[in-house]
Amino acid sequence: MTAVPQALADARSSIDNLDAALVHLLAERFKITQRVGELKARLDLPPADPAREAEQVRRLRTLAEASQLDPEFAEKVITFIMTEVVRHHVQIRDGVSPVEDGNVGGSR
Amino acid sequence: MTAVPQALADARSSIDNLDAALVHLLAERFKITQRVGELKARLDLPPADPAREAEQVRRLRTLAEASQLDPEFAEKVITFIMTEVVRHHVQIRDGVSPVEDGNVGGSR
């Protein structure tokens, strides 16, 4: 009986490790999209690029299928992230500082 | 002038690499939560564990702050993922196969 709660604890420890990696990846991703937003504002490019986004979704669905992750779920997560990034690019274009007290990436 | 589109292309190439890593992390995370769901069903544990989830959110917000990612955004992403996982655990408990043609992780 003690073996089973141990199995749950072990699984949770792995989930925690993966989640930490996830947060750090997202942090790095937002550092890059922040630069993209500034570049787009400087070049007068639109904050969103539907063709690029469709290509990202298509590619990530394929990667999800290859790694046995539900592609619908992968699409929902990436769309959620991309929506946040575009909102952020709009703020940069409009001269609203999206960076307050050192935080990058969104809705505060 | 060509230098700037190159900067955008470079940034996008990095974003694509990070997104591929993100999808693979999510795939691995769902493999583990699938096992947790089966374990919980076998032990008659509830599909959701609010105390554990609150602790996950608290910890990931702290990690987000440390890596300069907006903690609100990190919380939204992780909550979205956890909601999907609990939905999945309910399906396992109720004997609905969440695994169809080899895909794991969700809403199909």
Q: Using alpha carbons only, what angle is made at residue B15 by residues B14 and B19, rounded to the nearest 5 degrees?
A: 120
Domain membership of residue B27 (yes or no) is yes
> What is the share, in percent, of chain A residues with pLDDT greater than 70?
85
Q: Do B15 and A4 touch (CB under 8 A)?
A: no
Among A82, A83, A60, A79, residue whose Cα is nearest residue A71: A60
CATH of the domain at A58: 1.20.59.10
ipTM for the predicted complex: 0.84
Domain membership of residue B88 (yes or no) is yes
Ramachandran angles phi, psi of B67, nearest 5°: -105, 15
For residue A92, the distance in angstroms to the closest alpha carbon of chain B comes to: 16
Domain membership of residue B107 (yes or no) is no
Q: Which residue in the set A7, A14, A27 is minimally distant from B64, CB to CB?
A: A27
Domain membership of residue B101 (yes or no) is no
Domain membership of residue B89 (yes or no) is yes
CB of A73 within 8 A of CB of A81? no
Domain membership of residue A105 (yes or no) is no
Domain membership of residue B99 (yes or no) is no
Q: Do A18 and B28 touch (CB under 8 A)?
A: yes
What are the structure tokens assigned to B63, written together?
């990690």
As a whole number of angstroms, the distance between CA B105 and CA A79 comes to: 16
Domain membership of residue B12 (yes or no) is yes
Return the pLDDT at A4.
52
Total structural domains within chain B: 1
Condensed to tens digits (0 to 9), the pLDDT of residues B12-62 reads 999 999 999 999 999 999 999 999 999 999 999 999 999 999 999 999 999
Q: Which domain holds residue B77?
A: 3-93
